[in-house]
Amino acid sequence: MSQTNDLVTFLRHYGPIPAGDNMYDELIQTEIDRHGVDPVIHITPSKLQEILENFKSPFPHTIILTGTAGDGKTYHCRRIWIEFGGDPEQWQAGEKVLSTTLPVSGKKLTIIKDLSELTQNEKNNLLADLANSIAKKNINNVYLVAANDGQLLASWRDWSDTQDEEAHKIFKIIEDMLVEERTTDEALNLNLYNLSRLDASEHFQELVEQIVEHPQWSQCEGCDLLDENGSTTCPIRINRERLRIGTEGGVFRKRLGELMRLARANRMHLPIRDLLLLGVNILLGDRYGRQILLTCRTAKNRAEKEDYRLTNPYANVFGMNLPERQRQQYQVFNILEAFGIGRETDNKFDNLLIYGSYSDSKLYTDLVTKDAYYGAPAYEPYLRDYLEGARENIDEFMRALSRQRQRLFFSLPAGNLDPWRLTVYQASGQFLEFVEGLKNGGDISRTTELLVRGLNRTFCGMMIDDGTELYLASSGGDGRGRIASLLNYDLPTTRRRRDPYLNFELESDDATPCMQIIDPAADDDGIVDSLTLQLTHFEYLVRVATGSLPASFSIQCNEDFLDFKLRVIKRLDDLLGEETSGDEISIQALTVDEHGRAHPDNVRIRVAS
């Protein structure tokens, strides 16, 4: 007999369904009780431990939590409230401001779970108290405040504009902390946590693990679609298997995690709420009419008709089960869509997908034929129509082909095919390796050389092959000319005596590399200038270094690198500038020979005395 798994019904509430307000921490509690979900799916609030320790210490700081909607700000506040003996009933009653006394320090803790709920008046009063607390003027009160960063800054700025210089200074420090992603500042009695800066890929793995390994999957036992031996035709169970570790899901989840790390390196943030939504959508996404998410009943339907093309988890990653307008409302789908997976390809992949079945390719058998749900059956009818038939359905074929590319991206085992060729950022694999290398001190020399070559070509506008020395050259005029053949400086790319050199480091977020010009002779850290290499920058340099760059790619990166070059030349001039000698001018003209070698030619011009 057909039956319903409560867990599935419950999980749907986390998905991209229209009445999305049940996604809020306040309301999901009710659903948990209704469906008897146990254990609940949750993430240990990432900063909870730190916050707890802070408030338990004899000298607690005030804490501000910022982040995008859905990052878990309210959740943190509620846990803190309960940890310090607050009454859950009182919390559920929805009061805007709650307070309690801290056991160790005896100070009064005031919790504001959402700054935007306060009226203008309440806000102004609060900000005044808050400012006193963090400026150490009032040591008896500490606060825990949750707010969106934009709102926080706007309210604080408006308030500080009506106050004295001191208040404005505090505001400036907080603004700096937020933008520079600092947690503390020695001038203030404050910890500022931006939950949007946390690593989404780890959270995602944690959430998916809880979903796919939830004990309540056992409720499926006895369902028609599930054999005693564990084999199944239920699309929900199939998708669940794909997300589990130990089967193919290992690759699926690994790639998803990598995409999230890359998005972060491109300064794209995925709120926790979206991660949960994504996980549920992969599992339950359904492309039939307005269904959007599977229920046990519709899953049975799909299985009976073998309509698996509607429940493809790899397409669900990109929200393909949603109408376009609706899809665009979710940050997570926009971010993942930007990787172009499904659209991007190269000859190797398309040869395999289009002609593989005709050439008895083992690879094709392994990668396409063997997937009995989302592989050959969902694809080959269209392929045959395209190659042998009337080609009446080219559009359908293109869509099917695109879904195969998506599937391959998420399922390719390590081997001779590079999955990143299926994305806009083809150098992603290298990027992740590079970050890993910087983190763990691995060998990054090959990538460094490639990046330096890309930089040299960008800085000089010439096809330089050299990747061991950095050439900083000017174009004359305002310095923004495309071809720069006047060499100002050539810098080593490893530390050498006391010369300034180019160095690659990891940013404080541990996810993004940056390049720095370092002056070892300086008294301080010696950083003359630095530029964060987002994924896009990295991709740009690698593509320039290997000689292929689509025009659409280049404006931002080119501008960023050009500005960086102008700044560095100016600063090195200030630092190293030589006294001009009276009777001679010396200019380094840079040319490149046919082997890509750069030749600085020292042009000396005598000046009439």
Partner 1 sequence: MNTRLEAPAKFRSDVNVWVDEAIWGHRLYNDQTPWLVFLEFLAIFQSRHAEGKALNESQGDGLHETFTYYIPRLIPLRQLVFNNPHIRYVEDNHLSDPERWLEWLKIFSSDDDFRYLQDRFGSFSRFSRVIELFQITAIEPHRQRRWTSRFLFPYGPNCLYADLPANVNGSPDRRFFARSGELLYLMLNRSGKGKDLAEMISEKLLRQDETWNRVVRALLPEGYRIDSNLVSSSIGYLPFAERPEYGDLAETWTRLLNLDLSGEALFDPLTRLSSLHMLLYMLRRANEEIGDISEPKFVLEIASPRRTTLFELSKENFGANRMLSTRAVRAYIESAKEDEHWYDAMQARAPADAVREYLSERYEWQPDDGLPSGDPDTIFEALRYYAEKRHQQHVAKVHMEWAKQIGLAVSRRGAGTWYSPDDSLLKALVMCVVDEGREEYHRFLAKLYDRFRLVIGANEAEQAFGTLPTDQNAFMQNTQRLEQRLRTLGLLRRLSDDCAYVENPFRSNT
Enumerate binding residues for partner 1 (CB under 8 A).
66-69, 148-151, 153-154, 157, 176, 178-179, 196, 267, 269, 331, 475-481, 486, 555-557, 559-560, 563-564, 566-567, 569-571, 573, 580, 585, 587, 589, 603-608
Query: Which tokens in the block code for residue 142?
Result: 């500490």
Nearer to partner 1, 5 or 66 (CB): 66
Alpha helix segments (H runs only) across 106-195? 120-134, 149-161, 165-179
Least spacing, CB of residue 50 vs partner 1, in Å: 21
Q: What is the DSSP string of 269-316?
A: ---HHHHHHHHHHHHHEE-STT-EE--HHHHHHHHHHT-GGGG-HHHH
Nearer to partner 1, 274 or 286 (CB): 274
The secondary structure of residue 340, as a DSSP letter, is -
Query: Which tokens in the block code for residue 497?
Result: 């005596």
Nearer to partner 1, 180 or 360 (CB): 180
Query: Which tokens in the block code for residue 423?
Result: 């994305």
> Phi and psi of 368, rounded to 5°?
-115, -55
Per the CB < 8 A criterion, the answer to whether 479 and 564 are in contact is no
Instruction: Measure Cα distances from 453 to 173, 391, 414 in Å.
Output: 39, 46, 28
Least spacing, CB of residue 555 vs partner 1, in Å: 5
Least spacing, CB of residue 527 vs partner 1, in Å: 12
Least spacing, CB of residue 68 vs partner 1, in Å: 5
Per the CB < 8 A criterion, the answer to whether 200 and 70 are in contact is no
3-class secondary-structure state, position 360: coil
List all residues 6 or more positions away from 505 whose beta carbon is below 8 Å from its beta carbon: 438, 513, 514, 515, 516, 530
Nearer to partner 1, 19 or 605 (CB): 605
List all residues 6 or more positions away from 264 whose beta carbon is below 8 Å from its beta carbon: 199, 200, 201, 270, 509, 511, 512
Per the CB < 8 A criterion, the answer to whether 572 and 489 are in contact is yes
Nearer to partner 1, 115 or 367 (CB): 115
Least spacing, CB of residue 149 vs partner 1, in Å: 5
Nearer to partner 1, 403 or 537 (CB): 537
Nearer to partner 1, 147 or 234 (CB): 147
Least spacing, CB of residue 196 vs partner 1, in Å: 6
Least spacing, CB of residue 545 vs partner 1, in Å: 20
Instruction: Measure Cα distances from 405 to 10, 299, 351, 421, 425 in Å.
Output: 32, 24, 12, 10, 15
Least spacing, CB of residue 359 vs partner 1, in Å: 43
Nearer to partner 1, 149 or 371 (CB): 149
Nearer to partner 1, 250 or 526 (CB): 526
Q: How many angstroms separate the CA atoms of 500 and 91, rounded?
A: 58
Least spacing, CB of residue 177 vs partner 1, in Å: 12
